[in-house]
Chains A and B, each alone.
Chain A
């Protein structure tokens, strides 16, 4: 027998062995749901985490005073009831009785006060101390009563408390001082939520078990496994082959194919945590340039006429069709349509109209005097050539960059597109104001306060205001809405603010993207795919689902 036939035999044997063993390698783990996602938490420590994946896990393992529901409202979580003093500055919360941590120790008001004071006392926590900024003091009056004193009445206390996770004092106490809190690994992640940590392998998977003694609605499944599959196409393939039961994100190009696959359902909707994609226009006035900042923005962008022309020259629907393959709606302001009731439904967008855009520019004196296809500024004669930056980690920005460059070229505006590392882009952006236009976006909070703050004058020197926009009327309304406790009055103020920034064309918001997720129907049923907001990996969804044999497929 020749050497080659031996080699062929060997290859065949290895292939057969692999096939024989392969079938059992990813067998479903009991009634544990397997979720595939492209990311993974950066840390198990809620004090220092910045990635949204980490907050998804914290939301399952820890409890908070309020919980964010899938209709965007807040329900009572740990709190059984609460009262506010007449001036709204003293809030008294009574906790539910019989709540325990996963290690069996009771959760008391002292744990709540400890956690809130921990967040408040550490300026070096990236996110969570922003929710305690208005806390004057937090005390435990007894085992079940927490008293929060505020520096001023707040319009949005629910959204402030919904992310303040209650940590066990008996575990965190020794790590509370100085840098120890931030450096604490917290790999065991002992919380009190509906799921408890069983296994944490950073960048690989997280295995959570159901807390069958949970004090609210208990999970009907045995647990959840979040598996990191870094490549989006591989993520889709993992769902197809049954290696995971659900995936949290899908590239738009895979949507049509997955939709036709038997046993797989697609869910599309407004994301629970909507993200806003925006086109930033640098309009910082020279007198407002923060000290030490470059402020090199093109002066023409300070002119509302030019910004208005750019808005009319942007075909948002085409961007949605090409970049998102239709899975989005045209945007208006930084407050996305998913942020009801804060999203202003009265606003009318500037329609895509090249003739109108050209007319606006002609009337404002921007003419192409040298016939090179690019208009020049009246007076200085500086051509309308803008640096167009985009973050290198964005999947939508490259397509958007090409499209807006083409669109704006038709109104005599030229762009010089450049992809930049996100951190380098932040360094160029704000408060340096060393850019003309950036294609970027924000992650949003369930409350509009943070996004509205991105256009307030106070935040120009801190870098929170990235466009350099400044309007005293807007600033006044921003301060009023932050303390307005009447929901209806606050909504009116927030709507008015959106009208102002839309009128002034502070940003061009090309779209609000839809969330697209997919799940298999063979192992689990009862998916919350039709909820007003979509997040199949969040607490409310995971508590609702049942093993397929017990539920309705």
Chain B
């Protein structure tokens, strides 16, 4: 019963957060100075009349909500307008119907764009995260077990160096190295215009395009996992029950796997949950260095162009993914550490 209440409480909190983000998203981007009809374009051909007509096409000529005509600059309006004919309620109505609108900038349905971009980003950042997690946990555990040896110092120094490296710079170095010496592709997801004998070759082409960006991602994230894993593992390894396990004659692998890892996993779960949430936001720097058509790049572009439908859709997706992975982490916590359920 307590567990059930715990779960319901967490799910309710998550739902409330998403609802809050829904409303915030709508106003947040309208507070920004600027106008989607102009979209940062500076061209004498874009006349005032055209801007007014474009605003009407986007539905931006309607009041934002009852009592507010515009948010930036703030212009108050009538409270008596039909609420169903305001931008806010049109946004909510469309959202409830699963319609995120058409991107102002890309002229395509936002749902379609997000699906495309999200897939690309998850493929790239997800692979990097999984690799980093596996290597990080293993290396952190080994470093802690071999504490104060060359392996430990090597892992520690290597991690600190990797952690301090700017992602953009590391990406550029790997890009120059990989393209020059390994003949790897400079950017993109597939080789334009290439024809493949079979689907396997086509998949291999994508894998080759992923090598450098995934390597960059892995190096950037692995350090974090190594450092956290090593520290928590050192704490755990100093516990009496580890000494008991050693005394029982268990192998190193058994001690690490069955006795130490589960107890050292809690902080890692937190970090993974946070990182996975932000995975959806993409690693914008890596996406730009390697011209990877991901979500991070799309969000940046949408902010510049004041593409409200795309921004609203993308930020909703981000919020949902962060909230969802946090919820998942909470649930995992309650499994890993039963005390959390009753706390």
Interface of B is mostly: loop
Known contacts A424-B33, A426-B34; is-contact A25 B49 (Cβ 8 Å): no
Within 8 Å of chain A (Cβ to Cβ): is B280?
Answer: no
Q: Are B50 and A123 in contact (CB under 8 A)?
A: yes
B44 and A22 contact, CB distance less than 8 A = no
Known contacts A125-B50, A228-B291, A462-B47; is-contact A25 B208 (Cβ 8 Å): yes
Whether A185 lies near B108 (C-beta < 8 A) is yes
Chain A residues whose C-beta falls within 8 Å of the C-beta of B194 in the assembled complex: 25-27, 29
B57 within 8 A of A: yes
Which residues of A are found within 8 Å of B179, using beta-carbon distances? 237-238, 241, 243
**Chain B hits for A243, CB < 8 A:** 179, 185-186
Establish whether residues B107 and A182, one from each chain, have CB atoms under 8 Å apart when the complex forms. Answer: yes
If A124-B56, A427-B34 touch, does A229 touch B186 (CB 8 Å cutoff)? yes
Interchain Cβ contacts under 8 Å between A and B, 9 examples: A29-B193, A42-B107, A123-B52, A124-B57, A129-B50, A199-B192, A204-B293, A231-B187, A454-B44
Kindly state the separation between the CA atoms of A42 and B209 in the bound complex, as whole angstroms.
24
Contact status A127-B46, CB under 8 Å? yes
Contact residues, B185-227 vs A (CB, 8 A): 185-194, 204-205, 208-209, 211
Extra contacts, 9 of them, besides A207-B192, A231-B288 (Cβ < 8 A), are: A42-B105, A124-B50, A124-B57, A130-B46, A207-B193, A229-B291, A421-B304, A427-B33, A443-B42
Partner of B191, one of A26, A50, A442, A464: A26
Q: Using an 8 Å CB-CB cutoff, how does the interface string of A371-403 with B read, 1 for contact, 0 for none?
A: 000000000000000000000010000000000
- Which B residue sits closest to A163, measured CB to CB? B45
Does A205 contact B188, Cβ atoms closer than 8 Å?
yes
Task: Give the contacts of B235-276 with A (CB-CB under 8 A).
Answer: none
Q: Is the CB of A423 within 8 A of B50?
A: no
Instruction: Specify the chain B residue showing the minimal Cβ separation from A422.
Output: B40
Whether B44 and A424, one on each chain, are in contact in the complex, defined by CB atoms closer than 8 angstroms, is: no
Q: A25-B208, A50-B41, A179-B57 are in contact. Are A238 and B186 (CB under 8 A)?
A: yes
A225-B35 in contact (CB<8A): no
Chain B residues with CB below 8 A from A241, complex form: 179-180, 183, 186
Q: Which of A34, A203, A443, A450 contacts B293 (CB 8 A)?
A: A203
Chain A, 20-51, contact with B by CB distance < 8 Å: what is the 0/1 string? Answer: 01110111011010100000001111001010
Contact partner, B45, options A43, A445, A462, Cβ 8 Å: A445
Is A453's CB within 8 Å of the partner chain B?
A: yes
- Distance (whole angstroms) from the CB of B199 to the closest CB of chain A: 16
- Contact across chains for A423 and B39 when beta carbons are under 8 A apart: yes
A8 interfacial contact with B, CB 8 Å: no
Give Cα A228 to B291, complex, Å.
Answer: 7
Q: How many residues of B are counted as interface, with CB atoms below 8 angstroms from the partner's CB atoms? A: 61
User: Can you list, as one digit per residue, whether each of A113-134 has a CB less than 8 Å from chain B (1) or not (0)?
Assistant: 0000000001111110111000
Please determine whether B291 and A202 come into contact, CB atoms closer than 8 angstroms: no
Interface residues of A (CB under 8 A from B): 15, 18-19, 21-23, 25-27, 29-30, 32, 34, 42-45, 48, 50, 122-127, 129-131, 179, 182-183, 185, 199, 201-205, 207, 223, 225, 227-231, 233-234, 237-238, 240-241, 243, 393, 421-424, 426-428, 440-443, 445, 450-451, 453-454, 461-464
Report the bound CA distance from A15 to B174 in whole Å: 13
Q: Does B172 contact A (CB under 8 A)?
A: yes
Q: Digitize B155-182: 1 where CB-to-A-CB distance is under 8 Å, 0 elsewhere.
A: 0000000000000000010011001101
Instruction: Decide: A45 and B107 in contact? CB cutoff 8 A.
Output: yes
Q: State in angstroms the CA–CA spacing of A312 and B246 once bound together.
A: 83
- By a CB distance below 8 angstroms, the chain B residues around A179 are 57
The docked-state distance in angstroms from the alpha carbon of A26 to that of B185 is 7
Q: Smallest distance from the beta carbon of B5 to chain A beta carbons, Å?
A: 46
Query: Of B209, B211, B288, B306, which is in contact with the most chain A CB atoms at under 10 Å from its CB?
Result: B211
- Residue B32, interface by CB 8 Å: yes
Q: B71 an interface residue at 8 Å Cβ cutoff? A: no
Greatest chain A CB density within 10 A among B44, B48, B204 is at: B44
* Min CB gap B302→A, angstroms: 11
Q: Is the CB of A237 within 8 A of B192?
A: no
B304 partner residues in chain A, CB cutoff 8 A:
393, 421-423
Asked whether B291 lies within 8 Å of A230 as measured between CB atoms, the reply is yes
- Which are the 7 A-B pairs with shortest beta-carbon distances? A423-B34, A123-B53, A29-B193, A462-B48, A22-B183, A422-B40, A124-B53
On chain A, the residues within 8 Å of B185 by CB distance are 22, 25-26, 243
Q: Which of B183, B185, B293 has the most CB of A within 10 A?
A: B183
Contact of A423 among B40, B52, B183, B211 (CB under 8 A): B40
Interface residue from A27, A238, A424 paired with B32 (Cβ < 8 Å): A424
On whether the beta carbons of B187 and A25 are closer than 8 Å, the reply is no
| A169 CB to nearest B CB, Å | 21
Q: Which residues of A contact B204 (CB under 8 A)?
A: 21
Q: Which of B102, B106, B172 contacts A42 (CB 8 A)?
A: B106
Contacting pair B189 A204 (CB below 8 A): yes
B192-A225 in contact (CB<8A): yes
Q: Are A424 and B50 in contact (CB under 8 A)?
A: no
Judge if B232 is at the interface, Cβ distance under 8 Å: no
- B41 near A126 (CB under 8 angstroms)? yes
Bound: A185/B57 CA distance, A: 16
Residues of A within 8 A of B293 (CB): 201-204
CA distance A158 to B256 in the complex (A): 78
Interchain CA distance A229-B190 in the complex, whole Å? 12
Whether B107 pairs with A22 at a CB distance below 8 angstroms is no
**Does B38 sit at the interface, judged by CB under 8 A?**
yes
For B89-124 the 0/1 string (1 means CB < 8 A from A) is 000000000000010011110000000000000000
- Whether B184 pairs with A22 at a CB distance below 8 angstroms is yes
Q: Which residues of A contact B14 (CB under 8 A)?
A: none
Q: Report chain B residues within 8 Å CB of A203.
A: 293, 297-298
- Given A21-B204, A424-B32, A445-B45 in contact, is the A48-B187 Cβ separation under 8 Å? no
